[in-house]
Amino acid sequence: MSAPVQPHDNGNTAEPVAADDTELKTSVSKPDPLLACIWAQPEGKVGLIVTTAVVLLTVVGYLFAEQITGYSTTEFIGLPFTDTGLFGTDNLGRSVFSRFVAGGLILLVTAFLATLLGMVVGTIIGMIAGYAGGKTDAVLMRLNDVLLAFPQLIFAMLAIVIFGPSATVLVLVIGLTHAPRIARVARAATLDVTNEDYIRAAQMYSVPHWKILTQEIAPNITGPLAVEAGLRLTYSIGSIASLSFLGLGIQPPAADWGLMINENRIALSLQPWGVLLPVAAVAVLTIGTNMLADATARATATTATVAKRGRARTAEPQLKPKHEPIRHDG
């Protein structure tokens, strides 16, 4: 009795091989957290340290200025522009050091709120324009271009002259003048995301447009918006300090860095600390936030590239022959 014939496997068949967990983990690179990517860059590390140090100085100084310096921000300690106390006195005989350590928080809070307002308004306009397209996009962007034609600082000065100088007017004016620039960034980012397959799938299943905008598009454009937020914060700090220097920002007797420069510039050669301290603080804060924004731009670009490569590699069909085919020569 002959032995049963075993089926011959010539190795010509190919079957899909599912990647195991180990292969999946090695083929898909998970992007590092954004903060870790920023900290890994020398520029981002310096910017983060400098910005954090200035923010801590403003918060602690605003809350404990009198305990730190021994004087309140409105207390008269001597004659104007003298060496009384650390860093001397200002134009009214108040402590320069006390007004300096307490004067940064108002600038930071005002700049942050203005940037936040501009980001919210600009992002909404840009997302609607990029997602809707057609006439809606054309009308919104043409109106946006009209607003961009006005110089930001001159428009802010005109609005403050009409409505009066106050912190609320500063926030509204600076924030609304930021919105057109942010809208262009949000629109461009939305156009890149709108053609993705998951957006088309959501539209096919009749998902409401507001849900697509808030749950699908918004989370995927946070990278460019984070970079733009850093840049707008830098511009807000400079604009508000400039308006305060011109007498159109924070009003006396409040302690403010821009206001200190305006009040003490007349005695720069006699008592320079009233000008040098706020100028140095504004410059360091602006440089720190700018470096942080540049590092954020590089970090978001790196994260996006890694994520796209990971999605592309997982999308490839993983088919390979079970055995090498047997070749018969001749």
Nearest to 294 by CA among 233, 225, 230: 230
Q: List Cβ neighbours of 328 (8 Å cut-off, separation of 6 or more).
A: none
Domain chopping of the chain, boundaries: 32-103+270-288, 104-254
pLDDT at 311: 46
DSSP characters over 167-191: HHHHHHHHHHHHHHHHHHHHHHHHH
Instruction: Using only the alpha carbons of the chain, give its radius of gyration.
Output: 30
pLDDT at 247: 84
Nearest to 43 by CA among 287, 315, 253, 328: 287
Nearest to 259 by CA among 96, 150, 148, 126: 96
Cβ atoms within 10 Å of 311's Cβ, excluding its own: 10
Q: Are 224 and 103 in contact (CB under 8 A)?
A: no
Residue range 104-254 forms a domain whose CATH class is mainly alpha
Q: Residue holding tokens 């604009």?
A: 239
pLDDT at 35: 80
Q: Quote the CA–CA distance of 302 and 267 in Å, as a whole number.
A: 50
Roughly how many angstroms between the first and final C-alpha of the chain, as a whole number? 35
pTM: 0.77
Q: How far is C-alpha 273 from the geometric centre of its chain's CA atoms?
A: 32
Q: Quote the CA–CA distance of 230 and 236 in Å, as a whole number.
A: 10
| Helix segments in the chain, DSSP class H | 21-27, 34-39, 42-69, 96-102, 104-132, 134-148, 152-163, 167-194, 197-204, 209-211, 222-245, 257-264, 273-315
Mean pLDDT in order along the chain per 10 residues (330 residues): 50 47 44 78 89 92 89 89 88 92 91 95 93 90 90 87 88 93 93 86 85 87 86 90 87 88 89 92 90 83 52 44 47
Cα-flanking dihedrals φ and ψ of residue 89, to 5°? Answer: -115, 165
Q: Quote the CA–CA distance of 158 and 42 in Å, as a whole number.
A: 41
DSSP H/E element including 216? none
